[in-house]
Amino acid sequence: MTQLAEAGFDELRAALEGTVLAPDDAGYDDARRLWNAHHDRRPAVIAQPRTAEDVQAAVRFAVANDLEIAVRGGSHSMSGASSVDDGLMIDLTRMNQVTVDPEARRARVGGGALLGDLDAATQAHGLAVPAGMISHTGVGGLTLGGGMGWLTRKYGLSIDNLESVRVVTADGSILRAAEDENPDLFWAIRGGGGNFGVVTEFEFRLHEAGPMVQVGMIFFGLDQGAEALRMARDVIPSLPRDLNVVIACLNAPPAPFVPAEHHFKPGYALVVVGFGSPQEHADALERIRTALPPLFEFASPMPYVALQQMLDEANDWGRYNYEKGIYLDALTDGAIDVITEQVPRKTSPMSVVLFYHLDGGYLEADDDATAFGGGRTERYAVFSIAICPEPSMFDAERAWVRGLWDGLQPHASGIGGYVNGMTDPDEDRLRASYGHKYDRLAQLKAKYDPDNVFHRNQNIKPA
């Protein structure tokens, strides 16, 4: 390492069309900064490639010089895996191009693109990829774990709409993976996370969505929690597929549509998004408010790109975050009791619990068609997220997240969960998440990355 530092990484600089940053270079501190402020890492060197060949050169350099590799796209890794101390960070942010073929309904997306880049390019043609809900999330990390969001009920996961990838593997090969080429790698990439290489390009199928959608939020107080959750479990599964509802346990925002007396008040919200007719959306809101009168509500049409940015500020850079996820087969009375007991115990007004009801398009993919770590049966994906503006709040809020997870465990579909919702998974949780797919993933890891070069992820060890 000392010899490398003294040489100034000249060999790596010469091999890349892109930029190489050492700790003394201008721009290094900005490039190493992570979305989750809880993690502060200092790579020995940062490579900012512009091409797949640049990524290839960076991987070969790291392996030859025994440098640990971290891959950064949107930098939203809750565990801080996007960077590494004393190793090589491959920062893909300059590979953020998105090319859309509206006739074929396909998009080619660079490995460093953000959801905002993807949405802007596809919505120019009234098209979209099912993806996440925060526009500054990286397409790569989200997709490799599965990819859930507002369009999941209508069109499935991000990986269900993936046609092909271009990936740099641990030996420095640049491979195309699709159903007709390296199909075993394509299977593993779809859900296996960053274990199998650095994806430099994704090819997605596109669907009609927007440009305007219907958005509503109906908010209930803490004392209405049990009633609201029981009502939601009855109403949500019966709604038309053009509607999606996320249940949120959160504090009311200080927004203009919120009465002043309810600003920052903790409670429960149903966020109802409609991709069909305005009347269909209005009927759903009427059904909800009739079943249980809320404290307040909001409803308005908005651009799809605005929907995708709606949660950006609440999940901005520079906060101290922790997450633990779980699957529930149903919102049973026992689970509701745990939720309503634990939610009032959170201390940060920014922390949230989100429930995605997975049905519709989520169920249409065969469970064994991809490596995705979640059975294709109707269920709720639960995301318990500590968001702290100050580091002094972090320990208590992390303990709250863990306490809620522990309380829900007896009501859950085992100890596994959605791999994108794990901050500190252990091997037992990963095995439980992937179930019968784990052994096949370990075999493929041994084929494509036998030395576990790519291990800063929800790591699957080579068989």
User: What are the tens digits of pLDDT across the range 209-265?
Assistant: 999 999 999 999 999 999 999 999 999 999 999 999 999 999 999 988 899 999 999
Which of 159, 181, 209 represents a domain boundary (last residue)?
209
Q: What pLDDT does residue 2 have?
A: 47
Same domain, 135 and 179: yes
Same domain, 106 and 202: yes
Residue 443 lies in a domain: no
Domain around 372: 212-421
Q: What pLDDT does residue 3 have?
A: 52
- Sort residue 456 into left (φ over 0), alpha (ψ -120 to 50) or beta: beta
Same domain, 331 and 415: yes
Residue 454 lies in a domain: no
Same domain, 311 and 200: no
Helix/strand/coil (H/E/C) assignment for every residue in 45-77 = EEEECCCHHHHHHHHHHHHHCCCCEEEECCCCC
CATH number of the domain to which 350 belongs: 3.40.462.20
Compute the half-sphere exposure of residue 38: CA atoms within 13 Å on the CB side of its CA.
22
Residue 328 lies in a domain: yes
Distance, in Å, from the CA atom of 419 to the CA atom of 374, rounded to the nearest integer, reads 9
Ranges of residues in the chain with a pLDDT under 50 are 2, 6
How many structural domains are present in the chain? 3
Same domain, 239 and 276: yes
SS3 assignment, position 347: coil
Residue 83 lies in a domain: yes
Q: What pLDDT does residue 7 have?
A: 58
Stated pTM of the model: 0.95
Angle between helices 278-291 and 225-235 (to 10 degrees): 140
Same domain, 186 and 329: no
Same domain, 199 and 274: no
C-alpha closest to that of 370 among 175, 179, 232: 179
Residue 344 lies in a domain: yes
Same domain, 272 and 401: yes
Q: What pLDDT does residue 380 have?
A: 97
Element (H, E) at 110: strand 106-110
Residue 433 lies in a domain: no
Same domain, 142 and 158: yes
Which of 92, 113, 139 represents a domain boundary (last residue)?
92
Same domain, 355 and 341: yes
Same domain, 227 and 319: yes
Q: What pLDDT does residue 8 have?
A: 65
Same domain, 61 and 134: no
Residue 166 lies in a domain: yes
Which of 52, 72, 92 represents a domain boundary (last residue)?
92
CATH number of the domain to which 34 belongs: 3.30.43.10
Q: What pLDDT does residue 170 have?
A: 98
Distance, in Å, from the CA atom of 111 to the CA atom of 119, rounded to the nearest integer, reads 15
